[in-house]
Structure 1
């Protein structure tokens, strides 16, 4: 992965995307510490022509699958545009599905998305990020949100999400504002992937909260 100083940040966004797409394979994912992850992304307003936008979306989807992940925002590949993709086949046990509300989500493109909480209920689960590899932490988020924005064709999106899909759209939309999940996390819960596999692999993080000394909502 190139450092921020090595990356051609002076390139116009169109040229930056063309440069990324000129290479074979998944796009490189930038890691925490790279300033692109901390800058609010530019609203999309035609910086990429329709054909280039579709090529970029296809590359984001392929990169998300290769990682693997259930969402990816443009800043995570060094492109400061308010564009993200999500997709979740949700191959989880029934007890996890019920506890987390994790249900399959089709592939979606989010352009200039914004969300707002619906109601006051909050849910807290371990969450990870492709730009913070190797670690997870518990994040309390609104259990239901209203998402507005556009899709890749410019059509309006206005939809409510609940359960795990609500978590995914919040996580990816946060990226577009320069926010990482760690900014919202209970830092006492921060755990390596190995600790997660050995100790905290449960549908709801009750044991982790008791052992690591943090509170869950409710």
Structure 2
């Protein structure tokens, strides 16, 4: 369900509020989901709509953000777009904490320029590339469960947007955090990492386990 605010100059404030209110009605197995949708779902290919600035702190948007936080924590994500729970609006979450860092050794953390960063809600993001050097590292996505591939990303960028309280912010990011941001911005533009990956490196993350178990492997699509 989408509404293109740019195409109609005659949409009333009431109509806009009604559309956003419809996003968060408690309906069984309908968006916003309590799970992360998978590639093939048309929502992942939609261009996400900007959130009207006067609605950023509205109960409707707060409800979407709360649902995103629930899913984000349940899946132990480092990044999550609203599109990934079925709502194509320009919001994403990002975080990189000590538990995320434990998945990498010290040398990997140094090479990938990994820094801890607290949970942040980003609304209507805009980026400006500061360093056009492209760095290649493996990348995965909860919407493409069980696979990863090498992806080239710009090393440094400036991120502007609004936080969940409607405050403007502008911040520079390098390395791994810049990668997370670019990955989530892609989601808001209907792009997945499979569109920009090195196709020869596309790999099933459990290929060796599949062989060891004679193909008897089930892939969970929920949090483990």
CA drift of 1:53 comes to 2.4
Q: CA deviation at 1:116?
A: 2.3
User: Out of 178, 185, 197, which is 1:185 matched to?
Assistant: 197
How far apart are residue 14 of structure 1 and its match?
2.4
Q: Which residue of 1 aligns with 2:21?
A: 14
- Whole-angstrom CA distance in 2 between matches of 1:127 and 1:21: 32
Are 1:42 and 2:49 counterparts? yes
1:88 to 73, 84, 96: 96
Q: CA deviation at 1:153?
A: 1.4
| TM-score, with length taken from structure 1 | 0.78
Determine which of 90, 104, 118 is the counterpart of 2:116.
104
Candidates 39, 54, 62, aligned match of 1:54:
62
CA distance in 1, matches of 2:55, 2:162: 15
In structure 1, the gaps of 5 or more residues are: 1-8, 199-218
Alpha-carbon contact 1:21-1:56 (below 8 Å) kept: no
Task: Give me the CA root mean square deviation.
Answer: 2.5
Q: How many pairs align?
A: 188
Query: Are 1:124 and 2:136 matched, yes or no?
Result: yes
Query: C-alpha separation between the residues in 2 aligned to 1:47 and 1:189?
Result: 42
The 8 Å contact of residues 14 and 48 in structure 1, kept in 2 or not, is answered as no
Per mean C-alpha deviation after superposition, the further-off stretch among 85-94 and 101-110 is: 85-94
TM (normalized to structure 2)? Answer: 0.76
Find out whether 1:136 has 2:148 as its counterpart.
yes
Q: Deviations over 1:60-106 (max 9, x none)?
A: 12211211211110011110110111111133321111010111111
Q: Does 2:38 align with 1:31?
A: yes
Larger CA Rg, structure 1 vs 2: 2
CA distance in 2, matches of 1:48, 1:122: 33
Contact 1:14/1:47 (<8 A) preserved: no
- Where 2:121 maps in the other structure, the secondary structure is strand
